[in-house]
């Protein structure tokens, strides 16, 4: 069974990095969106068993995007958030919002692998 992932992140380099890490974890089919609206359009047209969302999307408050994505479950798989700001309570906020996990930027390859293994 194919594992289909959506990465919503305005940063092309971060999407490229995640594409490589996801491929190493056996997730060979990945879609990318650089805006919240593009990501939501893709979610409405495709099934994703994992959605990785950067909270710093330019066209929407990141938590609002997360709220809309989580509301779609079980139509989509778990949501993982990424953020460059290392907020002490980011994990708690993400859990309260219904996210499965958090990836802090800059990405740590071991943290990315650990999160992907849990999903």
Question: Is the confidence at residue 1, as pLDDT, over 60?
Answer: no
Most confident of 9-18, 23-32, 85-94: 9-18
Cα–Cα–Cα angle for 66, 68, 72, nearest 5°?
110
Give residue 85's pLDDT: 72
Q: What is the largest CA-CA distance in the chain?
A: 37
Mean pLDDT lowest among 15-19, 40-44, 87-91, 94-98:
87-91
- Percent of the chain scoring above 90 in pLDDT: 60
Q: Does position 2 have pLDDT exceeding 70, yes or no?
A: no
Token pair belonging to 119? 């999903």
| C-alpha to C-alpha distance for 21 and 40, rounded to whole angstroms | 23
Domain ranges of the chain: 4-118
98 pLDDT higher than 80:
yes
The pLDDT value recorded for residue 19 is: 94
Query: Strand pairing partners for 27?
Result: none
CATH of 4-118 given 3.40.50.2300, 3.80.30.10, 3.40.50.300, 3.10.20.740 = 3.40.50.2300
Q: What is the pLDDT of residues 21-55, one digit of tens each?
A: 999 888 889 999 999 999 999 999 998 999 999 99
What is the residue-averaged pLDDT of the chain? 90
């Amino acid at each position: 069974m194919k594992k289909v992932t959506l990465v919503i992140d305005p940063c092309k380099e971060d999407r490229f990095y995640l594409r490589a890490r996801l491929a190493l974890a056996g997730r060979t089919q990945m879609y990318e969106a650089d805006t919240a609206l593009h990501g939501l359009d893709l979610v409405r047209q495709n099934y994703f068993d994992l959605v990785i969302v950067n909270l710093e999307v330019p066209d929407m408050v990141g938590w609002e995007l997360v709220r809309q994505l989580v509301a779609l479950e079980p139509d989509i798989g778990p949501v993982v958030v990424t953020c460059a700001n290392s907020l002490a309570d980011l994990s708690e906020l993400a859990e309260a919002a219904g996210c499965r996990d958090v990836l802090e930027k800059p990405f740590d390859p071991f943290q990315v692998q650990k999160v992907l293994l849990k999903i």
